[in-house]
Structure 1
Amino acid sequence: MRIALLGGTGDIGEGLALRFGRDTDHEVLVGSRDPESARDAVAGYEETLEAHGAEATVKGFVNEMVTDRADVAVLAVPPYHVGDTIESVADALDENTILVTPAVAMKRDDGGMQFHPPSAGSTTELVAQRAPDGVPVVGAYHNLPAARLADLEADIDYDTPVVGTDRDAVRTVVDLTNEIEGLRALEAGPLSNAAAIESLTALTITLTMYNDARDLGVKWQE
């Protein structure tokens, strides 16, 4: 399977590239608006992976090119860039490409970090509105601490809820995510549940601020 990380030179893109590269056999494609930035990021990721004994296939191209080659495309960009990014790669998206979004719209006030959803209700639902017809959209990875993901010396033990209307697409993302050591993906229903999940990210950051903690995440136990 080919996994494209659009905006894969950023924090969450780096973390996912390294974890998928180390823990799975899938081809990882790092995208950027600037092909040189993509190539530079890949060189760094390959160096990190080699230092950890991983023989991963990681390549870097512009966003449009990695999308065209992808089975799963992750919008690893801030929420204010999802619309522009989708528009730039729209011609490369079709019903055979699963579009995954981890973006969460938030703002900070005196109390901490607050969930600040768009009029669509959530960033995930906004992505579904902006994506071309027929493209399956899945929300995942919202609550994962990017810095810890990118630190391959650090063990992780997190759950990540996965939402989507297309059940087959959700199952694909769940299965793919569960290949990463220390991650457990949990099906969380349709896209209409995305707001509740995205709000957990703001809460987690607020807890981090008030408790002088690092890399807080979510883990559900029976």
Structure 2
Amino acid sequence: MRIALLGGTGDVGEGLALRWGYHTDHDVVIGSRDPDDAHAAADEYAATLSAHGRERKLTGFRNGMAADRADVVVLAVPPYHVADTVDSVADSLDGDDVLVTPAAGMQRDEDGFHAHLPSAGSVTELVADAAPEGVPVVGAFHNLAAGRLADLDAELGIDTLLVGDDPASKDRVAGLAEDIDGLRALDAGGLANAAEVESLTPLLINVTEHNDGLSDLGVSFR
């Protein structure tokens, strides 16, 4: 399967690219608004994989071209860029693709981080509203610490919660998630439940900041 990481030069894109590159044989394509940045990131990630004994070729393209070459398109961009990014690649998407969003809206004040949900109800629902008709959207990977993902020496042992209204697409993304060693996918219901999932991200950051010795937290349900 071919996976495109739009905004794949950022922290979340790097972590997912390295994990899929290390643990799977899926084709990983790095997308960016600047193709030179995409090429450079793909080469950097390939070098990291090589240093860990995994020889892989990753490719980099402008976002639209990356999406055009993919079966699953991950929006590894900040929440305030998701709608514009979807608009920019809409012509490259069709009903055979799955659009995945890990973004969680947050704002910070003197007390810490708080969920900041858009009028659509959640960032995931915002993506669904922006997606071309017939393109399924799945929310996943919201609560994963980018630093922990990108550290290939770190064991995961954590869960990711999936939301979506198309069961087949959710199953496809669950399979991709569980192709990563130590990551378990759990079904959290439809898109209407995305706000609850996204709100876990600021909670985890607050717990990290208020407790010494805790960093790059994830969740595991038992």
TM-score in terms of structure 2 length? 0.98
Between 54-63 and 122-131, the greater mean CA deviation after superposition: 54-63
Q: For 1:5-154, what aligned pairs fall within 5 Å after superposition? A: 5-154=5-154
Q: Which residue of 2 aligns with 1:172?
A: 172
Question: How far 1:57 sits from its partner (Å)?
Answer: 3.5
> Which 4+ runs in 1 deviate beyond 2 A?
none
1:91-147, CA deviations, whole angstroms, 9 ceiling, x for partnerless residues? Answer: 001101100000011001122100010001100000000011000000000000001
Conserved? CA contact 1:27–1:56, under 8 Å: no
The 1-side partners of 2:32 and 2:215 are apart by 28
Q: Which residue of 1 aligns with 2:220?
A: 219
The 2-side partners of 1:57 and 1:123 are apart by 32
Identity %: 61
The 2-side partners of 1:55 and 1:160 are apart by 27
Question: What is the one-letter code of the residue matched to 1:160?
Answer: T
Conserved? CA contact 1:74–1:100, under 8 Å: yes
Question: What is the one-letter code of the residue matched to 2:220?
Answer: K
Question: How far 1:23 sits from its partner (Å)?
Answer: 0.3
The 2-side partners of 1:133 and 1:187 are apart by 23
The 1-side partners of 2:116 and 2:4 are apart by 27
TM-score in terms of structure 1 length? 0.98
SS at match of 1:135: coil
Conserved? CA contact 1:159–1:184, under 8 Å: yes
Between 54-63 and 156-165, the greater mean CA deviation after superposition: 54-63
Unaligned runs of 5+ in 1: none
The 2-side partners of 1:173 and 1:84 are apart by 23
Question: What is the one-letter code of the residue matched to 1:211?
Answer: N
The 2-side partners of 1:63 and 1:7 are apart by 8
SS at match of 1:134: coil
Conserved? CA contact 1:163–1:170, under 8 Å: yes
The 2-side partners of 1:70 and 1:159 are apart by 25
SS at match of 1:113: strand
1:62-89, CA deviations, whole angstroms, 9 ceiling, x for partnerless residues? Answer: 1000100110000000000101101110
Say whether 1:155 aligns with 2:141. no
The 2-side partners of 1:40 and 1:11 are apart by 14
Task: Say what the alpha-carbon RMSD is for the aligned residues.
Answer: 0.7
The 2-side partners of 1:7 and 1:156 are apart by 23
Unaligned runs of 5+ in 2: none
